[in-house]
Amino acid sequence: MKGNVAGIKNLTDRLKKVIKKYLRSEVDSKENRAALVQRILKTLRKIISVPANLQDTLCEDFDPTSLLDDLITEDLPRLLDTILDHRGDDQSLYDSLKVYGAKISYKWISEMEDGFVDGVVHAI
C-alpha cells in the first residue's frame, strides 16, 4: 500500500498544529515535548502488550514490549523535534520523514531480530 503523503497540502503546518494541540500548552518547550512523549508512551503501554495466554511462549531473554518501549522512548522525541523544528517547505519535511521512517523501521526490525536470535540462542 502506497500513500500520497507528498500530495498533502500544508503538511508541515498541519503536523505542527496537531502536535501543538497535544502539547497542551501554547509554549513549545523541551519540557512540554518531553511531557507529550510520556503521555504517548503511557497510552502505547496500554495498547502494546503480549496477551497473557502467549507470555509462556516468549523466549526468556526476549521481551518485545520492553524493546518497543525503549525504542519509542528514544526515537519519538527525535521525531517530534524533526517536525516541530522544521523550517523548510513541505517537500523537504516529507523527504526528512521518509528517511527518518526508513531508519527507524530498520532499527526496530534489527533490534527485534537481535532480541529474538539472542533469546533463541539462550534457550538452546
Residue 48 belongs to what H/E stretch? none
Residue 5: per-residue pLDDT: 62
For cell 507470555, what's the residue?
55
pLDDT digits (tens, 9 = 90+) for 2-48: 556 656 778 888 888 888 888 887 778 889 999 998 998 888 888 87
Give me the pLDDT at residue 2, please.
54
- Could you tell me if residue 36 is inside a domain? yes
pTM score above 0.85 = no
**Residue 52 lies inside a defined structural domain of this protein:** yes
Answer yes or no: is 15 within a domain. yes
Range of 116's domain? 10-123
In the chain the first and final C-alpha atoms are separated, in Å, by 38
Question: CA 91, 76, 80: angle at the middle one, nearest 5?
Answer: 45
* Residue 48 forms part of a structural domain: yes
User: What's the rounded Cα separation, in Å, for the pair 8 and 88?
Assistant: 15
Please write the tens of the pLDDT for every residue from 62-84.
677 777 788 788 888 999 999 99
| Count of structural domains, the chain | 1
Radius of gyration of the chain (CA): 18
pLDDT value of residue 10:
84
State the amino acid at position 4 in one-letter form: N
